Structures are given as structure tokens and as C-alpha cells.
Amino acid sequence: MWGGRFAAGPSAIMREINASIPFDKALWRHDIAASQAHVAMLGARGIVAADDARAIAAGLAQIAAEYEADGVPEDWDLEDIHMTTESRLAALIGPVAGRLHTARSRNDQVAADFRMWVRDASRAADAALAAFQTVLVERADEHAATIMPGFTHLQTAQPVTLGHHLMAYYEMAGRDRSRFGAALARMDECPLGAAALAGTGFPIDRHAVAAALGFAAPTANSLDSVSDRDFALDYLAAAAQCALHLSRLAEELILWASQPFGFAVLPDDLSTGSSIMPQKKNPDAAELVRGHSGRIVGALMSLMMTMKGLPLAYSKDMQDDKPPVFEAASLLDLSLAAMTAMIAGTTFRADRMRAAAEAGYATATDLADWLVREGGIPFREAHHITGAAVKLAESRGTALDQVALADLQAIDPRIDARVFAALSVDASVAARTSYGGTAPGEVRKRVAAARQALGMTE
Ligand code: ARG
């Protein structure tokens, strides 16, 4: 394709280091679509004769059918998907194939193909996140009043509801979707027609090509067009944050499924056994989601490092942009599918969660709040009194609401019998009716709003 000025062909090492076809063949659909849009425009503008444009379009359609049926052939000598397709086109229709590359370069070609691939991946991530949110909302609705301990520092803090906890992940997934949406909005410009780096002297119609490929507009600067990979970094940044959320959820399910917690029984079909310990049921899928998140974050770092020192415009380093993005996208797809299935199939042990919430002095804040509300005591002082009550209960090995009234009054005489109504985990949760709070009624409001946002039935 470029041998004109060379006395010798590339060495075996050069061929190997140069070849991107082993991975960029994944771009074949986008490469053919971009070539179809380009040649239609060349024909419409009379840059290529109408007959030639038709022959090229028919040849490209045939190649697409061949790739669909047999896969993309992997010949290192042809370097990448662009040259593989062009060489097949020449074999099919002869020298007229050479007219396809008028007014373009592989630099704008790969920028356009890859952008379209990342656009598809961003849309797929959004759809997978919507499915994940739907399952979270269903389970949150079911468990809007299921009591569990809420933790800070992984220490029992205050009772919350499981529905509230699950809806926290609904919020995270919503932010993830907005990040993919913002990435999509920013990448909605077509680089095709920037040619190698400077634009072209042919009277091309970049707006027509952009529209044909579903972009809002052509990119505005030819140098930026071929050197920009922000769209891939935006995708990876959104994917990395999404993966962190999935990893945190995976970590919680791993903890909850452990015997000391016993809060959750993970679905059998997403767990594995041990070959030596018959009693084991291991949360491997969740552990792998937690593990994959590291590789997805690594993909973001990888592409950032690739791009950080490159002068304008194209450098071959940029060929390394694709493997991390492809890997991250397939790991993210799989992780989202795994966590969606895991949330749908997990059995939550309401009895164990309630027992844990009742065991950990989780309503101590409610005692302090009661002293503030009913006794007019400043919160800091109420906190101190409550600390003494917890210490007493702990020394006796009982729950806070099991301490005798006389003993509580010995700590502070302003306490009276009404306090016990505030000390149950149910009362504690029911009292937290502030906007976004954990009271079952509040959780149900958030669930209803989420159902509406997702277009779910009531
Ligand atoms: N395979 C190349 C890539 O993925 C295509 C662009 C090659 N351009 C060039 N000037 N060598 O980046």
C-alpha cells in the first residue's frame, strides 16, 4: 500500500510490531460503514465517477458479507483492518478500488471507526446500567422495610433498610449513566475528512458524511480530529467509575455472604464450590467483578500514558489505543451482567440482618436524639449520657432497650419510660423521614420516582 519509495520490505520484526489486525479487526463493521459513507459522498460530489462509486459500494457490501460469514482474515502484511479491507476490495473489483482512498487517510479513518465503536460501547453500557437499575429498584421495593445495620468504618452505626442500601447503588448507576451520556454528547462529531492531518483539497462534503454516520457535525479542526482520543478516555473514565461502584457492591455481597455476617445467600449459579472443603460456596463471580475493576481502571491509565506526550498530530503510539478499550468494554459488559444477575438472584436473610442491627447498639443515636427532643439537653451532653448507657448495657451483655428504667435514670434522671418506644430498630428507622432518609416511606418514594424514571410498571 505504501511501498513506492522503499528499496526493501519490512523485516519480520517490523511486520509483527506494526500489525494491529489481530485486534483492530473488531472495527470491521464501522470501517465498512465509514467507507460506504465516504464513497457515496465522493460519488455525489463527482470526485469519483458515479459508476466507480457504485462498484466500490457493491464491493464493500460483499466484503461485509464475507467478514460476517467467515470472519476477518488476519494477515500481518496487511497491517490493519483498513488495508485488509482495501486489499480485498482490489482483489474483487480491480484497480478502481484505489479510488476509495481519495481525500482520506488511515488517520481520519481510524479516528472515525474507533469513535463509532466507542459510541456503540457507551450506548451498550447505558442500556446495561438501565437493566441493573431496574433490578435494584425491584429488590429495593421488596425490602423497603427490611431492617439491617447501617455501617460506618464497618462498625454498626444506625439501623437502615435494605431497600435504602440497594437504592444507594441505583443512584451510583444513575451517575454512571450520566457520565456515559456526557461522553456520547462530546464524541458526537465526525473526524472523517480531516484526511492525514491538514484537510484535503478535494471538494468533499464533511457535513454529509457526518450525517450519514449519525454524527451531529464534523469535527472543526483537522489536526485535532486525527490526534484526539478524548472520546476513548471519556469512555474509559466513565467505565472506571462504574467498575468501582460494581466492585464496592461485589465487596459488600462477599461480606454479606460470609458465615459471620450471614446476611445473604448468593445464587448457586453465580457461585462455585471448593474441591477440598465440601461445605464451601464461594462468591467467585463477585470476587471477579471486584478483580476486573482493577483491570478497567488500568485500561484508563494505559491509554492516558499512551497519549500524554504525543505531539500533534498522529503518531503510531496511538495504535495502542484499542486493546485497553476493547478489554475494558468486554470486562464492563460482563461485570454489569454479573451484578445484575447477582442482585436479582440473591436471597437476603432479613432475620440475620435484623438480629445484627439489634445487637450492635445501633439505636444509641436514637437515645441521644430522644434526650435532645424530650429533655431539651444539648446534643453533645446527650451523646455523653448515651455513651454511659451503652457502656452499662455492654457490661451486662444486653441490648439498650433491655436496660432497666431505674438503671437508665441512675445515669440521668431526665430519662423516663417513654424512651423505650424510641429504642427499637423499627422506631429508629421509621423516625428517619428527612428527604433521602432511610424510613420505609421515604425509600418507597424514591422507588416510585425510580420506577417512573426507568419507565417500569408500578
Ligand atoms: N492501524 C493504525 C492505527 O490503528 C491506522 C492508522 C495508521 N496511520 C498511519 N499513518 N500509519 O492507528
Q: Which of 23, 24, 27, 80 to mutate to test ligand 1, by most ligand atoms within 8 A of the CB atom?
A: 80
- For 111, the grid coordinates are 479516528
8 Å CB contact between 123 and 184: yes
- Residue 457's pLDDT band, with cuts at 50, 70 and 90, is confident
Just list the catalytic residues.
Answer: 153, 274
CA distances from 324 to 182, 233, 267, 304 (A): 21, 10, 31, 11
Q: pLDDT tens digit string along 162-193?
A: 999 999 999 999 999 999 999 999 999 999 99
* CA gap 104, 218 in Å, rounded: 14
- The set of cell numbers assigned to 81 is 483492518
Q: Report how far ligand 1's centroid is from the alpha carbon of 318 (Å).
A: 8
Q: What is the mean pLDDT of residues 208-223?
A: 98
Q: What does the alpha-carbon distance between residue 347 and residue 356 come to, in Å, rounded to a whole number?
A: 17
Over residues 225-248, the mean pLDDT reads 98
- Sign for the pseudo-dihedral over CA of 37, 198, 2, 72: negative
Closest ligand 1 atom number to CA of residue 322: 4
Atom of ligand 1 nearest to the CA of 81: 1
Confidence (pLDDT) at 280: 80
On the 0-12 / 13-18 / 19+ scale of CB atoms within 10 A, 5 is: exposed
What's the 226 CA to ligand 1 centre distance in angstroms?
10
Q: Which residue's C-alpha comes closest to atom 1 of ligand 1?
A: 80
Ligand 1 site, CB within 6 A:
20, 24, 80, 106-107, 110, 314, 316, 318-319
Confidence of residue 8 (pLDDT cuts 50, 70, 90): confident
pTM for this prediction: 0.94
Residue 271's pLDDT is: 86
On whether the CB atoms of residues 361 and 152 are closer than 8 A, the answer is no
Q: How far, in Å, from the CA of 108 to the mean position of ligand 1?
A: 9
20-42 pLDDT, tens per residue? 999 999 999 999 999 999 999 99
Please identify which residue in the block is written with the cell numbers 462498484.
55
Q: Is the peptide bond before 341 cis (omega within 30 degrees of 0)?
A: no
- DSSP conformation letters of 184-243: HHHT-EE-TT-TTTT--SS---HHHHHHHTT-SEE-S-HHHHHH--HHHHHHHHHHHHHH
Atom of ligand 1 nearest to the CA of 79: 1
In angstroms, the Cα distances linking 224 to 2, 34, 145, 313 are 24, 19, 54, 7
pLDDT digits (tens, 9 = 90+) for 297-334: 999 999 999 999 999 999 999 999 999 999 999 999 99
Which band of pLDDT confidence, cut at 50, 70 and 90, is reported for residue 278?
A: confident
Residue 6 confidence class, pLDDT cut points 50, 70, 90: confident
Instruction: Tell me which H or E stretch contains 160.
Output: strand 155-161
pLDDT digits (tens, 9 = 90+) for 330-369: 999 999 999 999 999 999 999 999 999 998 888 899 999 9
Torsion angle defined by CA atoms of residues 448, 449, 452 and 458, in that order, rounded to the nearest 10 degrees = 0
